[in-house]
Amino acid sequence: MENQITLRTLGRSDIRITPIGLGCWQFSKQGNLAGKYWPSLEDDLIRDVVRISLEGGINWFDTAEVYGKGASERALAKSLVALGKKPGDVVIATKWWPMFRTASNLLKTIDDRLAALDPFPIDLYQVHQPWGFSSEVAEMEAMAKLVQAGKIRQVGVSNFSAGKMRSAWETLRKSGISLVSNQVQYSLLQRKIETNGVLETAKELGITIIAYSPLAQGIVTGKFHDNPELLKNIGFRKHSSQFKPKGMEKSRPVAVLVQKLAATYKVTPAQVALNWLIHFSGETVVAIPGATKATHAAENTGAMKFRLSAADMHLLDEASKGYK
What's the pLDDT score for residue 165?
A: 98
pLDDT score recorded for residue 79: 97
Q: Give the bridge partners for 22, in sequence order.
A: 61
Domains and CATH numbers, the chain: 17-218+281-305 (3.20.20.100)
Three-state secondary-structure class, residue 283: coil
Rg over CA atoms, the chain: 19
How many whole angstroms separate alpha carbon 236 and alpha carbon 165?
29
Q: What percent of the chain lies above the pLDDT cut of 90?
A: 81
Q: pLDDT tens digit string along 29-76?
A: 665 555 445 556 778 898 999 999 999 999 999 999 999 889 999 999
What pLDDT is recorded for position 238?
Answer: 66
Mean pLDDT of the region 164-170: 98
pLDDT at 36: 46
Predicted local confidence at residue 26, as pLDDT: 83
Q: Considering only 69-73, 188-192, 260-264, 303-307, which range has the smallest mean pLDDT?
A: 69-73
Q: pTM of the entire structure? A: 0.95
Q: What is the mean pLDDT of residues 105-128?
A: 98
Mean pLDDT, rounded, of the chain: 93
67 is catalytic: yes
What's the mean pLDDT in 253-268?
97
**Set 67, 125, 186, 212: catalytic member:** 67
Q: Residue 272: pLDDT above 80?
A: yes
pLDDT confidence of residue 237: 65
Contact 137, 170 (CB under 8 A): no
Tell me which residue of 52, 86, 83, 79 sits closest to 63, measured CA to CA: 79
Q: How far apart are CA 247 and CA 83, in angstroms?
A: 42
Mean pLDDT of the 149-166 span: 98
